[in-house]
Amino acid sequence: MTTLVVIQARMGSSRLPGKVMMPLAGRPLLQRMVAQVAAARSPFKLTVATTVEPADDPIAALCAAIGVRCFRGHPTDLLDRHYHAAVLAGADIVVKIPSDCPLIDPDVIDRVLAFFRSTEGRYDYVSNLHPATYPDGNDVEVMTIAALEQAFREARRPLEREHTTPFLWDNPGRFRLGNVTWETRLDASMSHRFTVDYREDYDFVKAVYEALSTPQNPIVRLGPILELLAARPDIMAINARYAGVNWYRHHLGELRTVSARETRVPGDTA
């Protein structure tokens, strides 16, 4: 069984353009992200999926420089991009990880993949997001190529094409869904934000890398991050106003399986 991990990346972020090439501890954010994912112990192929737009040429150039496969596809239809990247790689299992998660813990990737593989044939889709419990920015979604192909062929709503997987997880009557919860039994999904969407998010991640990453040990992991934040509330406060903010807030009337409790608007900490 061939497993393909797809890191989706583009330069054209509306809130923080060019974020994937912004520097983190002397390397572009995307390169740090690739290193975090590649540190997982599970066997897989790795592809960065970007667009055919000229603005994304720097992403392709970086991938060539660091020896990572790069697939270039549809600019806005991420479902199309993921599916064709998977077909080209001959994947049986596809893992979706967004490029704005440069603090993703490799052990979390291993844990979600291990669950999927240990239950082989039981699930079409497994993630750690439905419901989410890990700190935001540890997003891992695993699906069979058959499920991804079905979504590719049948999904029609714009949010299903733009976000790749809602056709699967928002249709629990059609697909066999599994979820991996944080082994601590805690829920930090709305209180701890490790993803990069706003300038404050980048400043937060930059502060974490500067505190924890070294040339001898460049990989950052969840445990030390949480210890750092407990000791340095000033770092935790950098992007606190965005804790719990995610794309769900724009689609609460369209998504069947997501409630208002799973998202916030910027600045709302109620």
- At 151-175, the pLDDT tens digits run 999 999 999 999 999 999 999 999 9
Q: Which two tokens stand for residue 46?
A: 């790795």
Per residue in 222-246, pLDDT (tens digit) is 999 999 999 999 999 999 999 999 9
Tell me the pTM. Answer: 0.97
141 touches 93 (CB < 8 A):
no
Q: Is residue 191 situated within a structural domain?
A: no
Q: Report yes or no on 103 lying in a domain.
A: yes
Domain of 33?
Answer: 3-181
Nearest to 245 by CA among 217, 218, 267, 270: 267
Peptide bond into 106 cis (omega under 30): no
Question: Is position 95 within any domain?
Answer: yes
DSSP one-letter string for 161-213: HHSSSHHHHT-TTTS-EEE---TT----TTT-B---SSHHHHHHHHHHHHHH-
Amino acid at 189: S
C-beta pairs of 201-205 under 8 Å, 24+ apart in sequence = 201/16, 201/100, 201/239, 201/242, 202/16, 202/19, 202/22, 202/29, 203/238, 203/239, 204/235, 204/238, 204/239, 205/24, 205/29, 205/102, 205/103
258 inside domain: no
What pLDDT sits at residue 270?
46
Q: Which of the four pLDDT bands, split at 50, 70 and 90, describes residue 269?
A: low
With vertex at residue 128, the alpha carbon angle to CA 9 and CA 138, rounded to the nearest 5 degrees, is 45
Number of H helices, E strands in the chain: 10, 9
pLDDT digits (tens, 9 = 90+) for 85-102: 999 999 999 999 999 999
Kindly tell me if the per-residue pLDDT of 179 is higher than 90.
Answer: yes
Whether 28 is covered by a domain: the verdict is: yes
Residue 229 lies in a domain: no
Report if residue 77 sits inside a domain: yes
128: tokens are 């750690």
What's the rounded mean pLDDT across residues 127-146? 98
Distance, CA of 67 to CA of 88 (rounded, Å): 18
Residue 48 in any domain: the answer is yes
Q: What single-letter DSSP state applies at residue 101?
A: -
Residues 6 or more apart whose CB falls under 8 angstroms from that of 89 comprise: 2, 4, 45, 47, 69, 71
Could you tell me the sign of the dihedral formed by the alpha carbons of 79, 80, 81, 85, in that order? positive
Q: What is the CATH number of the domain that holds 46?
A: 3.90.550.10
Number of domains in the chain: 1
pLDDT digits (tens, 9 = 90+) for 70-129: 999 999 999 999 999 999 999 999 999 999 999 999 999 999 999 999 999 999 999 999
